[in-house]
Amino acid sequence: MAYEVSVFLENKITHFELITRVLKEEGINIRSITLNNIAHGWGTLNMLVDQPEKAYKLLTEKGNSATLREIIALEMKDEAGGLDELLLKLAKSGVHFDNAYSRLIAEKQIAILILEVSDVLEAKERLEKNQITILDDSLVYGK
């Protein structure tokens, strides 16, 4: 199963850059990010990185408020309507998600939809029951 690293940070470029510097110095590749403003100048940075456990450990050791969260990664067609097709399958399976973002893997000509769900085990069961394949970690992280 794949994981994302989330960091609670002040919405200042200097704080964001401190996070990216820690990862760069350790050779951790950021594959996809989302940055959400929460309130009063603070936000959440969600990152899909190629070494999530190591990134989480390093960031927390540096005093950052970080979490490691299990995610679900699904393949979608990298063409017009690819996301719509996948969302129809998700709706039929009854999988509800809290947050979503994507990642394109150009060399393999696929797109990945990353889902944050409240109950990963239930979502997995529903996906399997509806023949929706969860992607292998090595593909998600781009290794």
pLDDT tens-place string over residues 95-116:
999 999 998 887 778 899 999 9
Q: Which candidate, 128, 61, 70, places its Cα nearest to that of 97?
A: 70
Residue 38 confidence (pLDDT): 73
Q: Which candidate, 58, 76, 50, places its Cα nearest to that of 137?
A: 50
Distances 98 to 41, 45, 101, 120, 130 between C-alpha atoms, Å: 22, 15, 11, 11, 20
Q: How many CB atoms lie within 10 A of CB 2?
A: 20
For the stretch 119-133, pLDDT in tens is 999 999 999 999 999
Task: Let me know if the fold of 2-70 is the same as that of 71-141.
Answer: yes
Residue 104 confidence (pLDDT): 87
Q: What angle do CA 82, 85, 87 make, to 5 degrees?
A: 110
Residue 143 confidence (pLDDT): 62
Residues of the chain with pLDDT > 90, as a percent, come to 73
Q: Class assignment of domain 71-141?
A: alpha beta
Residue 14 confidence (pLDDT): 86
The stretches in the chain having pLDDT less than 70 are 143
Q: What angle do CA 47, 40, 69 make, to 5 degrees?
A: 25
Pick the CATH number of 2-70 from 2.60.40.1180, 1.10.510.10, 3.30.2130.10, 3.40.980.10: 3.30.2130.10
Please state the pTM of the whole predicted model: 0.86
